[in-house]
Structures are given as C-alpha cells and as structure tokens.
Amino acid sequence: MQDHTVRVWDEPLRLFHWTLVASFTAAWLWQGDRWLHLHLLAGWIFLALLLFRMVWGFTGTRYARFSAFTCGWREAWLWLREVTQGGGPRRLGHNPAGAWAIFAIFFLGLLLAVTGIVTQGGEERHGPLAGLFGFATGAGSHLLHEALAWGLLALLLLHVAGVVVESLQHRENLALAMITGRKRAVPAGLALDVPRRRGVAMLLAVALLLFILFWLRGSLAGGDDPFLPFVGPELPHDAAWQEECGGCHLAYHPSLLPAASWQRLLREQEHHFGEDLALDPDTVRRLQRYAVGHAAETTPTEASWKILHSIPAGTSPLRITETPYWRRKHREIEEAVFRSRQVNGRFNCDACHLDADAGSFEDGAMRLSRAAGLDDERSGERA
Ligand code: HEC
Ligand code: HEC
C-alpha cells in the first residue's frame, strides 16, 4: 500500500528548529574573546528564536501549539512503560518525552541566555546590563553560563537519542520529517494537513538575516576601529609615564599589575630586565605615585580584575606576561607568532591589541591577523 503522508510541522516551526540548532552550535564553537562578537550574535539569535517559539506555541498550527503537547505525568509514565516494553502508539505530534524535552530545553535555554547577558554586563561592561553588576557577579554568572551550556548539550543529545529510538521503533525518519514537515498518516485519511505558514517563515528568515547584517556591519565594513568601544569610566593617562616608560616598549597601563609590582619595578629601575633606566629619585617617586594610584586594585577593568585574582595574594610579579591570567589567555598562541617580526615578543601587547595603549583591552579591539599581519607571517613560514 502506498504511504499517505500529511503535513504535521509548519514552516516557521521547522525554520525555528534548525536555526536554533545552528545558533547553539555557532555559539559553542565561537568561544574565546577573539570571537566574542560572533558568540554574542549567535546568543541573541538563540534567545530571539526561543521567544518566537513561545509566541508560536500559542499562535502556530495544530501540532506547534503547546496545548497539543501530551505531557501530563500520567501520559508520560504510560508512554515510558510502553516504550520500554518495545513500542507504544505512534503519534503525529510530539510524544510526552519530546514535549518534556522541549520544555526543559526552553527552560535551560532561557537561563543560558540570561546568564550570558549578566556575564557580558559584569565582566565586559557591555550589553543591556552593562555596569549593573560587579566583576565577581560577572565571573560567577560566567561559571553558571558554562554549566548550563553543558547541561543543555546533554539534554540535546538525549533528545537526539530519543528521536533515533522512536524513528527505529516506528520505522520513520523523524529528523527528515522535521525538514519536510511531513509524516506518514496511519490510518490513512484520518489526519489532515496543517495549513501552510510560508509568510511567517519568510518574515522570520528576513528578520534573522537583517539582524546578522546589522550585527556584522562593523566587521564587514573593515577598518581597525573597535566596533564595541570601551564604555567604562575613562582610564587615567599620565604624560610623564608615557615619556619615561614608553620609549622601549608600550607604556603598560598601571591597571595591569598590582601596586606592589610597580613599587618593586621602580625601586629596582637600575636593573630593569637588563637595562638601567637611570631615573632620578624625584621621577621615580612621581611615577610610583601615579602607578600605585591606578594599579590593578583601584582601576576597574576586566583585565585588571582578572589579573589581580589570578596571582597568589601578596605576591608582586614583575611581568604581566607571567601572571596566570595572562598565560591562560594566550596559551593557544604559538611561540612562532610571538617571535614573528610583526609581534617581536609577547611583551609587545600593541601588536595585537589596538587599545593596549589605553589599557582597556576590549575584545572588539583585537585584530590579530590584520593588526599584526599574523596570517601572512604564518603562511609565509609554512611555504
Ligand atoms: C631602556 C628601555 C626600557 C625602558 C625605558 C623601560 N623598559 Fe620596561 N622593559 C624593557 C625590557 C628590555 C623589558 C623586557 C622585555 C622582554 O621580555 O624581553 C621590559 C619589560 C617590562 C615589563 C614586563 C613586561 C612583561 O613581560 O610583562 C614591565 C612591566 C615594564 N618593562 C615596565 C616598565 C616601566 C613601568 C617603565 C618606566 C618606568 C619601563 N618599563 C621602561 C626595557 C625598558
Ligand atoms: C600575538 C598577539 C598578542 C599579543 C602580543 C598579546 N596578546 Fe593579549 N590576547 C591575544 C589574543 C588572541 C587574545 C584572545 C584570547 C582568547 O580568545 O581567549 C588575547 C586576550 C587578552 C586579554 C583578555 C581580553 C578579555 O577581554 O578577556 C587581555 C587582558 C590581554 N590579552 C592582555 C594582553 C597584554 C597586557 C599583552 C602584553 C603584555 C598582550 N595581551 C599581548 C593576542 C595577543
């Protein structure tokens, strides 16, 4: 007998489903500060899709509606028993496990988005909640955000496993049904096609596309301007510091090391990494006053907070590049890159960070390949 199929999943639902998968995957792959703008783009799309799905749960076609979800405790229990005993009744819409999975994915997904926004506001001082939280809250939220992401991944894998099991039991490719929208109608003739909703799907697609273009306008236009400028309080600047400390390398912003480190560096200025800075006592005092007054303890940037919290209390490292936070952040950069002509040493922060001079070290101000020509350098070496 020829199989008779009916349209079960409407167009917007299918578009939602696969773009949600794509946005989660993209956010997962784009981790790390270098990719933060893309991670955020994926995260906002993820949130927008969840919100759309909530509305669609009340306004969509038959099987998209929450009211069609069979998800009572009793039903879920019965269903589970049937399945463990080798197959239960086949359903056109979501089965109870599917419905539960969807609600759990929703719940974790929303929490994931919220903790992401809190993290961004607390740690990066960007986004809708910028500056409302301290760095500690941001860091705590960051941990929670990562835990939630793993939880959601586990849930998604469970969901996929469920789809595979049910597809096998009922000899029906459910993943394909989420693409075509059609499922086998058994017994034939009883079920009816859900109406088409192509217009809504088109609107959703266009909105997503516009959003992506809007978000990427900075990178697409090119140029080295950080497209997410520093929005914190203006960081201090000192002419004498620039003059005395900016001759051989970048005049490191004092927020990058604790006060005790600067005191030590200036006290030992005659033996500065093999150089004698030959500063007179007055200048030393002046520079000390400036550096200590704006050291990591007193200047609130993400870098200063994290550097300070990564070093053992009471220690005074002489190198920023030896602090655990710095090492962690630059762990993945190959030695050859640091030794390349364009960078010429890991202490040359400004080769990769366009705002190194200002001390803000924004994620948006990292133009690794363009600023330092690293891509050329690397391909040159390989050749
Ligand atoms: C005469 C040149 C010279 C001047 C002027 C100078 N430095 Fe340096 N500085 C060096 C050298 C050389 C190094 C080591 C670079 C390397 O890693 O090979 C260094 C390294 C440093 C580092 C460690 C960088 C890292 O690896 O994290 C700090 C911090 C630093 N200097 C601070 C200062 C301060 C503050 C002043 C101004 C009081 C200053 N320097 C002035 C030559 C200089
Ligand atoms: C060869 C290029 C390069 C050099 C040189 C370099 N960095 Fe970085 N830095 C990076 C990259 C790439 C990242 C992002 C790592 C990631 O994706 O997690 C980064 C990340 C950071 C971060 C974290 C930014 C954030 O918002 O979380 C800070 C702070 C930082 N660097 C400070 C410095 C300082 C200070 C120096 C100089 C002592 C320096 N970097 C030298 C490439 C460089």
Ligand nearest the Cα atom of residue 248: 1
Q: What per-residue confidence (pLDDT) applies to 372?
A: 45
Q: Per-residue pLDDT for 188 more than 60?
A: no
List the residue whose alpha carbon is closest to atom 25 of ligand 1. 319
- Vertex 371: Cα angle to 329 and 305 (nearest 5): 30
User: Which of left, alpha, beta for 327 (phi over 0: left; psi -120 to 50: alpha)?
Assistant: alpha
Of residues 206 and 102, more confidence is placed in: 206
Q: Per-residue pLDDT for 189 more than 60?
A: no
Give the atom of ligand 1 at the shortest distance from the alpha carbon of 287.
38
Render pLDDT for 286-309 as a digit per residue (tens, 0 to 9). 999 999 999 999 988 899 999 999
> Ligand 1: distance of its center to the CA of 349 in Å?
12
pLDDT band at 1 (very low <50, low <70, confident <90, very high): very low
280 and 247 Cβ atoms separated by less than 8 Å: no
Percent of the chain with pLDDT over 70: 89
Which residue type, as a one-letter code, is found at position 113?
A
> Ligand 1: distance of its center to the CA of 273 in Å?
7
Q: What per-residue confidence (pLDDT) applies to 373?
A: 46
344 and 379 Cβ atoms separated by less than 8 Å: no
Q: What per-residue confidence (pLDDT) applies to 342?
A: 86
pLDDT band at 376 (very low <50, low <70, confident <90, very high): very low
Render pLDDT for 222-258 as a digit per residue (tens, 0 to 9). 655 666 667 777 788 899 999 999 999 999 999 999 9
Q: Does ligand 1 come within 6 angstroms of the Cβ of 240?
A: no
Q: What per-residue confidence (pLDDT) applies to 367?
A: 67
**Sign of the C-alpha dihedral computed for residues 345, 351, 356 and 357 taken in this order:** positive
Q: What per-residue confidence (pLDDT) applies to 101?
A: 83
Q: Which of 161, 29, 177, 24 is nearest to 106 (CA)?
A: 24
